[in-house]
Amino acid sequence: EILVSFLLAETSGSSFGMTVFEASSQSKAVAEVERGIASHKKGDLAAAVDHYEAALVALGVSWDSADAEIQLGKGLATSTLLSDTLHFLGAVQVQRVEQEFVSHSGDDDDDDDVERHGQNQLPTWNRQLGPDALTQLQKSIALMHAAKAALPLHETDCCKRGRLLNSTGAACFLLGPVGWSEATLELRGAVTLMPGAWAPRSNLVRVLGRLIRDANGSEKQALQLERTYLLEEMSRIRPGHPGIWYRLGMALRHAGRLEEAITALEANLNRAAKAEAIPATQSDSHDSGNRQNCNAVFKVASTKHWLAVLRGDNPATAPAEYVASLFDNYAERFEEHLVGKLQYNTPARLADALGDFGSLVSGWQRCADLGCGTGLMGPSLRSLGFRGILEGVDLSEGMLVQARGKGGP
């Protein structure tokens, strides 16, 4: 699910809170917003932006003024139409940034130990954002701030205000730690205004997960309690959602509510079994593919591993599927944590040890790196003159993807 929830299906025609459009400019603005919504639903984000900008111009808000984020919300008349237009434009711009720069490599809300004990890492996609993308995000957030300022105080649609808060909070989250405080405030407001809504709770759970990693003592406990409560709410809102019971089980485990954690993890396995059984009448190959997909989506290997641990049946080694899944999710931030924080330098030390045999290494035709991870050994071997074929072996496909860029074939 994308972070920014637009809920455009609920917005059409005269749903902007205006019963009569006396001025042609307002009629034109409504028409442009409707075209923008249609384009947005089709996935044509560039066209949607053009239409929303045209709607602002029709309302007397020039794009030059909208481009200045600090002054954007000042001096604008309040109207639901103007607020919606600003909101939709800001939200679609955020989505464009997300599509261009964001790569979601796994569920970053799992709370597996390698995440929990790791450095307070930014999401992978946030580290990829350049200055232009960050500037665009900031402008988009300014648009949504202006949308809040333009929303009339008498607006009685709490969900409309809640959706705006949710979009703002989700955009602030993309800024990284500098935006997480504001994201938390905005999303808490959205949760309050939208009692049965999944999106703001999912977004707030994600932000709280980041804050927990950098918190200590009573603050950390309070954040964990809030996050667990939200996950419990989410499990009631969408009990069939893939992964919600796993995430809840892990949160309960960290909270020390072990029996409840076992119940939640068992529920996850039950739902995985039901999902796997759905295409039972189809071909064996399709059924096999569905089984693999269910195992991945519901994190079956991880669930079984933690159930065994919680029941006191600690296995000598974790299942290969669990290890692979864990490091697939960890791959893109592995080196920053391992090398940057833990000062891992084994490849360099091995290279030093092999330095006395440089002529021998340079003559190797083939070399295998078993448990290669992200391929940290590759550059060290190349620096010693090795020009042969370097093969990496690892349980984690995500690690191998990272390794391919190091050391050549």
Mean pLDDT across the chain, nearest whole number?
79
Q: What is the pLDDT of residues 14-39, one digit of tens each?
A: 444 444 444 577 888 899 999 999 99
pLDDT at residue 253 in the model? 94
Average pLDDT over residues 121-141: 68
Would you state the pLDDT for residue 169?
A: 95
Which tens digit of pLDDT belongs to each residue from 341-356? 778 888 888 888 888 7
Residue 214: its pLDDT value, please?
Answer: 83
Averaged pLDDT, 281-289: 45
pLDDT for the residue numbered 403: 84
Per-residue pLDDT at 200 exceeds 90: yes
Check pLDDT > 60 for residue 260. yes
Do residues 277 and 298 touch, judged by C-beta distance below 8 A? no
Three state DSSP letters for the chain: CCCCCCCHHHCCCCCCCCCCCCCHHHHHHHHHHHHHHHHHHHCCHHHHHHHHHHHHHHCCCCHHHHCCCCCCCCCCCCCHHHHHHHHHHHHHHHHHHHHHHCCCCCCCCCCCHHHHCCCCCCCHHHHCCCHHHHHHHHHHHHHHHHHHHHCCCCCCCHHHHHHHHHHHHHHHHHCCHHHHHHHHHHHHHHHHHCCCCHHHHHHHHHHHHHHHHCCCHHHHHHHHHHHHHHHHHHHHHCCCCCCHHHHHHHHHHHCCCHHHHHHHHHHHHHHHHHHHHCCCCCCHHHHHHHHHHHHHHCCHHHHHHHHHHHCCCCCCCCCHHHHHHHHHHHHHHHHHHHHHHCCCCHHHHHHHHHHHHHHHHHCCCEEEEECCCCCCHHHHHHHCCCCCEEEEECCCHHHHHHHCCCCCC
What's the pLDDT band for 211 if we cut at 50, 70, 90? Answer: very high
Task: Say how far apart CA 153 and CA 173 lie, in whole Å.
Answer: 26
Amino acid 293: pLDDT: 64
Phi, psi (5° rounding) for residue 406? -120, 135
pTM: predicted TM-score of the whole model, two decimal places: 0.73
pLDDT, residue 102, reads: 56
Task: Please tell me which residue, 365 or 60, carries the higher pLDDT value.
Answer: 365
Range from 121-125, 228-232, 298-302 carrying the lowest mean pLDDT: 121-125
Q: Is it the case that residue 10 has pLDDT exceeding 50?
A: no
Listed range (1-10, 87-96, 151-160, 185-194) with the worst mean pLDDT: 1-10
Is the pLDDT at 362 greater than 50, yes or no? yes
Instruction: Flag whether pLDDT at 113 surpasses 50.
Output: no
Mean pLDDT of 293-297: 67
Above 80 in pLDDT, residue 296?
Answer: no
What integer pLDDT is reported at residue 70 of this predicted model?
Answer: 36
Structure confidence at residue 74 (pLDDT): 45
Q: What is the pLDDT of residue 251?
A: 95
The answer on pLDDT for 123 being more than 60 is no
Report percent pLDDT > 70 for the chain. 77
Q: Span 143-149, mean pLDDT?
A: 91
Selected residue with higher pLDDT from 218 and 291: 218
Residue 336 pLDDT level (bands cut at 50, 70, 90): confident
pLDDT of amino acid 193: 95
Exposed/middle/buried for 313, CB within 10 Å: 0-12, 13-18, 19+? exposed
What is the distance between the alpha carbons of residues 336 and 324, in angstroms, rounded to a whole number? 19
Minimum mean pLDDT among 72-76, 211-215, 236-240, 324-328: which range?
A: 72-76
Please indicate whether residue 216 or residue 336 has the higher confidence score (pLDDT): 216
**What local confidence, expressed as pLDDT, does residue 234 receive?**
96
Residue 195 has pLDDT above 80, yes or no: yes
Confidence of residue 227 (pLDDT cuts 50, 70, 90): very high
